Chains A and B, each alone.
Chain A
Amino acid sequence: MEYQYAPNIVSMDGFSDAVAASVSLSLEEQQQYSASSSSSFEPTMGYFPVEP
């Protein structure tokens, strides 16, 4: 069993900075993903509504 990570806490004082950093990372990943993949569908990892 391998543990790699100590969960961290985001203080409310640092909330805006954490969001800004996350947005920046997402944009970076989005660019990398767009350049390297033709796949367009990834199922959401969470609530997945039942089709009517």
Chain B
Amino acid sequence: MSTGVANGQGAPARSHAVPLCPSAQPTQDGAFAFGVVGGAPGERRVGYLEGRVPVTDELLAMTGPVKPTHVFRFGAPCAGSGCSHFDGSDCNLATKLVQLMPPVSKSLPACQLRPDCRWWKQEGKAACMRCPVIMTDCYTRSEEQALAANPNTPVPVPVGV
């Protein structure tokens, strides 16, 4: 059984050679939960866990009838060219999030994934300042979020370029 859930302790952050995707699926190899979506209806916000909680049957069962990606944020090694958002060097989802969405936080979340996060490595704090409103799956998505989430949406050209 999961050490993370069973003993109430999240695993400490470890360094990964491959950058971690901060909005992964629990079915991916090496996946763990690092956030829980809280807030209020229509104003959901991610709460950041003190540790990384490995994906186990017990963890997934905690969400009952709700899809785990509505409740948790999962991290996992970036799938690279196996993901529609990866262009060979960058995660276009991270780029679009930063360019299309306003920041929602002036302080960096106490995020256990950040040391290995692809979005952080690529976009810096601009990504972290938007991260709390990123839900892998949700029922109420803003127009900007929907645009960013669609792999077919072109990456906007930055102003002044």
User: Do A and B bind?
Assistant: yes
A7 touches B132 (CB 8 A): yes
Residues of B within 8 A of A48 (CB): 83-85, 93, 149, 151
A19 nearest in chain B by CB position: B62
B105 and A3 contact, CB distance less than 8 A: yes
Among B8, B71, B102, which residue has its beta carbon within 8 angstroms of that of A12? B8
Q: B134 within 8 Å of A by Cβ?
A: yes
* Complex alpha-carbon distance, A32 and B42, angstroms: 10
List A residues 1-52 near B (Cβ within 8 Å).
Answer: 1-13, 15-16, 18-23, 25-30, 32-33, 42-51
What distance in Å separates the Cβ of A28 from its nearest Cβ neighbour in chain B?
Answer: 5
Q: Looking at the complex, which one of B36, B104, B136, B151 makes contact with A10 (CB distance below 8 Å)? A: B36
* Chain A residues whose C-beta falls within 8 Å of the C-beta of B135 in the assembled complex: 45
Is B106 part of the contact surface with A, judged by Cβ < 8 Å?
yes
B89 within 8 A of A: no
Interface bits B114-135 vs A (CB < 8 Å: 1, else 0)? 0000000000000000001111
Q: How far is the CB of B89 from chain A (nearest CB, A)?
A: 16
A9 to B109, CA, bound (A): 8
Let me know if B62 and A16 touch, CB within 8 A. yes
Query: Are B141 and A45 touching (Cβ within 8 A)?
Result: yes
Is the CB–CB distance between B66 and A49 below 8 Å? Answer: no
A-B contacts, 19 of them at CB < 8 A, read: A3-B103, A5-B105, A7-B132, A10-B38, A11-B50, A12-B50, A15-B5, A18-B47, A23-B66, A23-B71, A26-B71, A26-B139, A43-B150, A44-B69, A45-B138, A45-B145, A47-B76, A50-B82, A50-B84
B-side residues, CB < 8 A to A, are 5, 8-10, 21-25, 28, 35-42, 44-51, 53, 62-66, 69-72, 76, 79, 81-85, 93, 102-111, 132-141, 145-146, 148-151
